[in-house]
Each structure stands twice: as structure tokens, then as C-alpha cells.
């Protein structure tokens, strides 16, 4: 099979009547573990290099919801409007792929967010080899047939399986089967393997996964949300920053928010506080918010002589707005003179004021450069900073 010769159709045009319909929004867009159901589903298909086009079939009313839920992946997916039944929605997806047909197509429910790359790979391989492949789980419960609230009989469960998605097919085969079924079949099919069976195509059974549940009821969506929250990794992020400024003759330097009398001064557009500049970059780095120059361009006259605590306060507000809680910050000043130790406590207090952190979460350290290099020659002062931030609820 050619690279990227697998197409994917994710059907998401249903109204989720059994999950309470549109109250709370269509179920495929409701959040589980902080992200819409469909965002989890689509993400599972992205890592495979063999997957080319991904068509997401949506309801005509859901354009804005879908674009918002999948905003991070708009360059990888195509939206197509679906139809009144799952079968008809799948057909819309199949027709969308016809302009550049893949060798194999995987058809998946948007509301099966726990599908794994391994299962996707196994189904693709099965479809490639056998023409049609279906992931299944053997039934574990005793199966009863019932009528009017009474058991009518017990069904022998040997050889019975529950069908999952993704279901994989050679593209031409399933496109033709769907086209025929749409005009010739009396019944509506609830999955695509049934349509392949209907045209007489053998469908091979692939071991499914008990995690790959379909979120049908509101209680199942709530359980999925609880499961993801219970098993979520803590989202701890680390950022680092580095800055250096030149020393010229003068009467003070400002380091970590503290003015220190000295026979030199740091040259810069703002107050040239290398410690706070490095700290600003470290904080911004924890949420991919660029660097200090992105927010306070040196070309902008309004920052001339600015007190650098403004930069730190701005970075703190961006981190907080993105749901971040700063755990600790650590700054190392690399300076031959002035000595930092006598001012360390004042620096910690100043940074505590800017960040809201208690002193035990703020570290300010200093080292000389052993008289070598530009720091050792007292031509400049450098600073390195690290920040740790926890993101999430």
C-alpha cells in the first residue's frame, strides 16, 4: 500500500437522542476530560503516517461547534455535511473521498473516543489483506430474548460478537456497496460491515478493545469524563529563560526588582533587569506565549526605562488566564559585582509581590564567572530562570 493511502471517515452528524438529544449540546461535542468527545476521537487518527485524508461528517447545524472543537486540527481534516441516518452520513463521507480515492477507508463513530492507534493499525491491515475488517468483542453476558417484560428464551452466545468501529474496507468495495444499498436494500443498516455482508463480501473479525466504548447514553458520557479526570496526568510544565545586559559606567543596577548602588549600570531599553527578563521568558515559555520581545518590543518607546516588574506581572496574568498555577521560580544571576547575597531577601520579597508566591517557592541564587569571559571582565551581567507551572482545573 502507498504511504498515506488510508482515508478516514468520522461520522458525527447524529443528534444523540439516547443521550438526551441537544440539551447540553450534541453528545459528540460535550466535554470529557476537558476536551470535546470528538477531539479525543480525531486525535487518535493523527499519528499514523499511513493516514491521508480525514473526512469528518457533521450535521448542517454544527459547523461552528465542529470548527471550535477541532480548531487545533483544521489543517488535517475536511468537513462534509451528513444526512438523516448513520448509513446516509457514511455515504456522504464516501462520496467526499471519491475525488482522490484512498486504497482503504476506515469508518469510525465520533462517539468512540477511546479508539487507539494500535486498533486503527490492526483494522487497516485487515482491510488491506481481506477487503473488509471488523473489530469485535465476544459477548460476555448471558443473552436473553424478551417480550412484554418477560423472558422468551436464552440465546446461545457462542459465536456472537459485539461490533465496534473503526471498520475498514477497500474503498471501491464499500463505496459501491453503499451506493447499491441506498437504492436496493429494504432496511437501514446500523453499521458498514452489515452492508459489506449484504453484498456477499467476507468480513474478517479483528479483536476489538473493551476500552473502545460507544458513548450512547448521558451516563456513559459522565463515566468517560470521570475516568479521564481520574487517570489524567498532572499537567506540569517547565519554562526557562536567559538574558544578558551590558554594564557601562553609572551609579546603580536593578536586579530582580531591587535597586543596588554600584559604580556601573546595566544598559537597556527598560531598566535592564536581567533577572526579571529571564523570569518573564521562563513564565511565558510554560504556555507557549512567545518571549518578552513579543509582548514588549524594544522598538516601542513606551517601554523606555520601564520597571521590569510590569513584564513579570503581565506574564503572570497570561499564565493565570490560561489556567496556570505557578509552583516555583528559580533565578540564577551570573555577576562578578555587585554581590547579590546582601540583597537576596529583598529580591525574593519583590518577586513574591509580582507573582503571589510564598518565599519558599522563590529561589534567587548568584554565581561569579570566576573572572573569565564578559561577566568575569565586568562587561555585563547574565541571568538564567526556570519556572514550573501546573495547568488545568
Ligand X SMILES: C[C@](O)(CO)[C@H](O)COP(=O)(O)O
* Residue of 62, 109, 243, 309 that binds ligand X (CB under 6 A): 109
**Three-class SS string for the chain?**
CCCCCEEEEEEECCCCHHHCCCCCCCHHHCEECCEEHHHHHHHHHCCCCCEEEEEEEECHHHHHHHHHHCHHHCCCEEEEECCCCHHHHHHHHHHHHCCCCCCEEEEEECCCCCCCHHHHHHHHHHHHHHCEEEEEEECCCCEEEEECCEEEEEECCCCCEEECCCEEEEHHHHHHHHHHHHHHCCCCCCCHHHHHHHCCCCCEEEECCCCCCCCCCHHHHHHHHHHHHHHCCCEEEEEEEEEEEEEEECCEEEECCEEEECCEEECCCCCCCHHHHHHHHHHHHCCCCCCHHHHCCCCCHHHCCCCCHHHHHHHHHHHHHCCEEEEEEEEEEECCCCCCHHHHHHHHHHHHHHHCCCHHHEEEEEECCCCCHHHHCCCEEEEEEEEEEEECC
Show contacts with ligand X in window 188-217 (CB under 6 A): 190-191, 214, 216
Write down the least CB distance from residue 88 to ligand X, Å: 12
Show contacts with ligand CTP in window 193-222 (CB under 6 A): 214, 216
Residue 271 is a binding residue for ligand X (CB under 6 A): no
* Residue of 16, 33, 52, 275 that binds ligand CTP (CB under 6 A): 16
Is 79 annotated as ligand-binding?
no
| Nearer to ligand CTP among residue 83 and residue 306 (C-beta) | 83
* Residue of 4, 163, 185, 218 that binds ligand X (CB under 6 A): 163
Show contacts with ligand CTP in window 37-96 (CB under 6 A): 57, 82-86, 89
Rg, the chain, Cα only: 30
Contact flags string 21-40 toward ligand CTP, x per CB under 6 A? -------x------------
* Residue of 8, 9, 13, 357 that binds ligand CTP (CB under 6 A): 13
Query: What is the end-to-end Cα distance of the chain in Å, rounded?
Result: 44
| Nearer to ligand X among residue 163 and residue 346 (C-beta) | 163
Residue 164 is a binding residue for ligand X (CB under 6 A): yes
* Residue of 9, 11, 115, 253 that binds ligand CTP (CB under 6 A): 11
The three grid cell numbers given for residue 98, joined into one nine-digit string: 471519491
Residue 314 is a binding residue for ligand CTP (CB under 6 A): no
Is 293 annotated as ligand-binding?
yes
Write down the least CB distance from residue 143 to ligand X, Å: 16
Write down the least CB distance from residue 193 to ligand CTP, Å: 14
The three grid cell numbers given for residue 44, joined into one nine-digit string: 487518535
Which of the choices ligand CTP, ligand X, none does residue 317 contact, using the CB cut-off of 5 to 8 A by kind? none
| Nearer to ligand CTP among residue 38 and residue 381 (C-beta) | 38
Which of the choices ligand X, ligand CTP, none does residue 163 contact, using the CB cut-off of 5 to 8 A by kind? ligand X
Is 211 annotated as ligand-binding?
no
Is 292 annotated as ligand-binding?
yes
Write down the least CB distance from residue 12 to ligand CTP, Å: 5
Residue nearest to ligand CTP (CB): 14
Write down the least CB distance from residue 176 to ligand X, Å: 20
The three grid cell numbers given for residue 392, joined into one nine-digit string: 488545568
Rounded to 5 degrees, φ, ψ at 189 are -95, 140
Is 147 annotated as ligand-binding?
no
Rounded to 5 degrees, φ, ψ at 264 are -135, 165
Other Cβ atoms less than 10 A from the Cβ of 105: the count is 29
Closest residue by Cα to residue 165 from 95, 233, 213 = 213
| Nearer to ligand X among residue 27 and residue 53 (C-beta) | 27
Write down the least CB distance from residue 198 to ligand X, Å: 14
Interface with ligand CTP by CB under 6 A: which range of 65-73, 109-117, 149-157, 356-364?
A: 109-117
Rounded-to-integer distance, Cα 284 and Cα 36, Å: 26
Binding-site residue numbers for a divalent metal cation are: 243, 245, 277
Binding interface with ligand X (CB under 6 A): 86, 109, 163-165, 190-191, 214, 216
Binding interface with ligand CTP (CB under 6 A): 11-18, 28, 57, 82-86, 89, 109-111, 214, 216
Binding-site residue numbers are: 243-245, 269-270, 277, 291-293, 367-370, 374, 377
Amino acid at each position: 500500500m502507498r504511504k498515506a493511502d488510508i482515508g478516514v471517515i468520522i461520522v458525527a452528524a447524529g443528534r444523540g437522542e439516547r443521550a438526551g438529544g441537544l440539551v447540553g449540546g450534541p453528545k459528540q461535542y460535550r466535554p470529557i476530560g476537558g476536551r470535546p468527545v470528538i477531539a479525543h476521537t480525531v486525535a487518535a487518527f493523527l499519528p499514523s503516517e499511513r493516514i491521508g485524508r480525514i473526512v469528518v461528517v457533521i450535521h448542517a447545524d454544527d459547523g461552528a461547534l465542529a470548527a471550535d472543537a477541532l480548531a487545533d486540527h483544521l489543517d488535517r481534516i475536511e468537513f462534509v455535511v451528513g444526512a438523516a441516518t448513520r448509513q446516509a452520513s457514511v455515504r456522504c463521507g464516501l462520496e467526499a473521498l471519491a475525488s482522490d480515492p484512498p486504497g482503504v477507508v476506515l469508518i469510525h463513530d465520533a462517539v468512540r473516543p477511546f479508539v487507539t492507534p494500535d486498533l486503527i493499525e490492526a483494522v487497516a491491515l485487515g482491510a488491506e489483506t481481506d477487503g473488509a475488517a471488523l473489530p469485535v468483542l465476544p459477548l460476555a453476558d448471558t443473552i436473553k430474548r424478551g417480550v412484554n417484560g418477560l423472558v422468551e428464551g436464552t440465546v446461545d452466545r457462542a459465536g456472537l460478537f459485539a461490533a465496534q468501529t473503526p471498520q475498514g474496507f477497500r474503498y471501491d468495495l464499500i463505496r459501491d456497496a453503499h451506493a447499491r444499498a441506498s437504492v436496493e436494500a429494504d432496511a437501514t443498516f446500523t453499521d458498514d460491515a452489515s452492508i459489506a455482508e449484504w453484498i456477499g463480501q467476507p468480513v474478517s473479525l479483528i479483536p476489538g478493545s473493551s476500552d473502545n466504548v460507544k458513548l450512547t447514553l448521558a451516563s456513559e458520557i459522565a463515566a468517560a469524563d470521570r475516568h479521564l479526570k481520574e487517570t489524567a496526568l498532572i499537567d506540569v510544565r517547565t519554562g526557562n529563560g536567559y538574558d544578558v545586559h551590558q554594564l557601562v559606567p553609572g551609579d546603580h543596577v536593578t536586579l530582580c526588582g531591587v535597586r543596588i548602588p554600584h559604580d556601573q549600570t546595566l544598559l537597556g531599553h527598560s531598566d535592564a533587569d536581567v533577572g526579571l527578563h529571564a523570569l518573564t521568558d521562563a513564565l511565558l515559555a510554560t504556555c507557549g506565549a512567545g518571549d518578552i520581545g513579543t509582548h514588549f518590543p524594544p522598538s516601542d518607546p513606551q517601554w523606555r526605562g520601564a520597571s521590569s516588574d510590569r513584564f513579570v506581572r503581565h506574564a503572570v496574568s497570561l499564565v493565570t488566564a490560561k489556567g496556570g498555577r505557578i509552583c516555583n521560580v528559580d533565578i540564577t544571576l551570573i555577576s562578578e559585582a555587585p554581590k547579590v547575597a546582601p540583597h537576596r531577601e529583598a529580591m525574593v520579597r519583590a518577586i513574591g509581590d509580582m507573582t503571589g508566591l510564598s518565599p519558599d517557592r522563590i529561589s534567587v541564587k548568584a554565581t561569579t564567572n570566576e573572572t573569565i569571559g564578559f561577566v568575569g571582565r565586568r562587561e555585563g551581567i547574565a541571568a538564567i530562570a526556570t519556572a514550573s507551572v501546573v495547568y488545568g482545573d
